[in-house]
Amino acid sequence: MASTIIAATGATTSKSRVPELDGLRGIAIALVLIVHYFYRDPAANHPPEWIKWVYVHLQNCAALGWTGVDLFFVLSGFLIGGILLDARESPKYFKTFYTRRVFRILPIYYAWIGAYVVVMALDGPVLGRYIPGGGTWEAGSTILAQVFFLQNLRSLPYAAIGWAWFAPTWSLGVEEQFYLIAPAVIRGLTRRWLYFCLGIVIVLAPLLRLFVRHHFPASGPASLSLAYILMPCRADALAAGILTALLWRNSGFRSWLNERGRVLLISVLVFLIGVVALSNLAPDHDSLLEQTLGYTWLAIFYALVLLLVLSHPGGWLGGFTRMAWLRELGKVSYCVYLIHVAVGLFCQTLLTALVHRVNTWEQLAASCVAVAICYAIARVSWTYFENPLLQIGHRNKY
């Protein structure tokens, strides 16, 4: 499935990090892990009748874990948009922005591509014994698409290992294409025109998704539809994030929030009701309802949640997002997102090799082990690889 993205939301240095935003990143990656590790189709193998209703509704909520990527998009729009808004008069505007992005995103991303080459060169035939198609290398064009962040321009025909390794990176393609456009737009437009253009993007994105869905349907049951992975089709979430950054920098708007905080809370609750309805009516990200109004509804909901956390950091939601474990998960979320599908596949494959008839509880245990492994790898990566490079990138000042 989907990313991040997530790298974009790690834009701040340790001195300027907003703890609540790390917590929101933690929520986003937790949602992604839930849907990929713990979701089970509620249409099959129901539990006993007396808890079936509860089980089905919990699984429908878990199925919406894919919306963690939408939260990452909103956070990315907010943080990247905010950085660019604050630095728009800088003579080093473009140079500093892109230098920092290179140090944040590219090293670990290309290291992950390199790790795929090493794993397939050393263990491809072995993997093929346990995973159907596991020994099949990805086509050169597929690898090149990954290298140049073009993997979201069409639904790529991944092999088994390639799918686990690269399928989540479609969202990084969305992010990189967003980086090519956002700096010029924010630098070139006045704030009034920026408000107007962001509003247009949010309104037109559902119509574009409907057009793409009709003319370019998904090519197979395991394929991600273009309406889900194309950057313009997901631009409403990024635009909602930038719009939130614009509003947050408006002192009049912040004063209005302080005086009428209940309006914001009611708005969050109303949109939350809609999210719950979506979880029961159309939990699949490829459903018609989700791809037309659903994505935009989710983007606005997450933008409202972001505003609620920022304007009321002392509230219960702000307190929750400041929890140490959630902030820690958010801090390492980029690496976790990159590796989590592959780690999950290897854990489940090892379990199947050890226990030939796997039951639900053993699958659950393997998923918990996969979470622990993802965190351990990501923590090491952050401490010894990502954060040192991030500090080098931030030596470039606006």
CA distance 237 to 300: 8
Q: CA–CA separation, 68 vs 171, rounded Å? A: 11
Tokens standing for 369?
Answer: 């082990």
CA geometry: angle 336, 382, 314, nearest 5 deg: 80
CA dist 376 and 389 (Å) reads 19
280-285 contacts: CB < 8 A, separation 24 or more? 280/57, 280/60, 283/60, 283/63, 283/64, 284/63, 285/66, 285/67, 285/228
3-state secondary structure of 352: helix
Q: Looking at the predicted structure, is the pLDDT value of residue 73 above 60? A: yes
Asked if residues 70 and 237 have their Cβ atoms less than 8 Å apart, the reply is yes
Closest CA to 145 of 181, 172, 179: 172
**Which of the four pLDDT bands, split at 50, 70 and 90, describes residue 22?**
very high
pLDDT at residue 139 greater than cutoff 90: no
For 123, how many CA atoms within 13 A lie in the half-sphere containing its CB? 9
Phi, psi of 182 (to 5 degrees): -60, -45
Buried b (16+ CB within 10 A) or exposed e, 137-161: ebeeebbebbeebbbbbebbebbbb
User: Distance (Å, rounded) from C-alpha 235 to C-alpha 84?
Assistant: 17
Q: What is the pTM of this model?
A: 0.91
| 273-311 per-position pLDDT tens digit | 999 898 888 888 999 999 999 999 999 999 999 999 999
With 0-12 CB in 10 A as exposed, 13-18 as middle and 19+ as buried, what is 41?
exposed
Residue holding tokens 């539990």? 47
DSSP label at 138?
A: P
Q: Is the model's pLDDT at 99 over the cut of 70?
A: yes
Residues 333-392 pLDDT 10s: 999 999 999 999 999 888 888 887 777 788 889 999 999 999 999 999 999 999 999 999
